[in-house]
Structure 1
């Protein structure tokens, strides 16, 4: 008799365990509150609105419509679902290597921590802005290279360098310090010197920068 009485509760427990998790499709997002809430479709006839989506601290995103979801139901109750995972298949970066990580958006912008190629930031032709930094320091063990076809603008009261600076490096072999030294020591040949208050125009300097 004891076994027969236990069958009902046991079946209910098994049923709740089997329905504790489900896969769903995300159809809408409300990101205005302290906790993001979403609308999910568990099937063509089962839609849940206002389901909270819980993400790790320090990471926040707005999943696109049609994203896959993993939903956990508290106590197996289908009215108490919490979204604990999302994936947007069309925009998910593929073929990552072991140990690699990438932070990405739907339109392809990303910060890619590669296994052997360093860190790659892909801005997709859009601006990159750093706001309200007290100081910005780049510690490089090698060369810092800046490629800017549109030019470089520096809005600063002073630009300092502990080393030499060189412009037109493809054709100019001298640094600014070397050109200053040449300018300080150069001489001009003066021809047709006259006395009194006469003046003459000198030739080009003997030393060329």
Structure 2
């Protein structure tokens, strides 16, 4: 009986552990992780479970919480990974964020505001993008489509000289057409 309880106690002690992430394989349907558990103990091919709809590839040195099914070290499941080196800090109660080790983030802030920080580029790929409010842009705004459509009476202001030149030419053509009675004055 004592031997049985001793084995049971060891298995219970081995049910959960902290680990360091050494390497990640992200090329299959379920991500696998190589972990360092104790001094010199390395486990390879540990399945990593992530919340539905979210995925990430942690960098080496991240920390993991590992559950061992039945207390056996040969069946490790990674249930959480965090990296205190890169975690976005100083959020207010109720805020949440997604972040990378490079400092990019999406922050759902108090006051119903979303902050997106991308160090190089924000790429949105969709056949149609709608915005129901005003758009305030700084920097250069480029439009690559064949036309800009706006409400009646809409105007383009502060146009570049080439656009102003095109507008002047168009006004000249319209004046000539009106002068010859081809369009209403």
TM interval, shorter chain, is: 0.7 to 0.9
Q: Which of 143, 155, 161 is equivalent to 1:165?
A: 155
The Cα of 1:59 is off from its aligned counterpart by 0.8
- Confirm whether residue 101 of structure 1 aligns to residue 90 of structure 2: no
Whether 1:90 and 2:85 are equivalent positions in the alignment is: yes
The CA deviation at 1:135 is 1.1
Q: Superposed, which structure 2 residues align to 1:145-160 within 5 Å?
A: 145-148=136-139, 151-160=140-149
**Aligned residue pairs: how many?**
162
Matched, 1:44 2:35: no
Structure whose alpha-carbon radius of gyration is higher: 1
What are structure 1's unaligned runs of at least 5 residues? 170-175, 185-209
Name the counterpart of 1:127.
121
Q: Which TM-score applies when normalising by structure 2?
A: 0.79
Q: Separation in 2 of the partners of 1:116 and 1:14?
A: 50
TM-score, normalised by the number of residues in structure 1: 0.71
Structure with a larger share of its residues in strand: 2
Q: C-alpha offsets along residues 172-209 of structure 1, whole Å, 9 cap, x if unaligned?
A: xxxx9xxx8xx98xxxxxxxxxxxxxxxxxxxxxxxxx
Runs of at least 4 residues off by over 6 Å: none
Query: Structure 2 unaligned runs (5+)?
Result: 160-166, 176-185
Larger RCO: 1 or 2 (CA < 8 Å, sep 6+): 2
Note the C-alpha offset of 1:122: 0.3
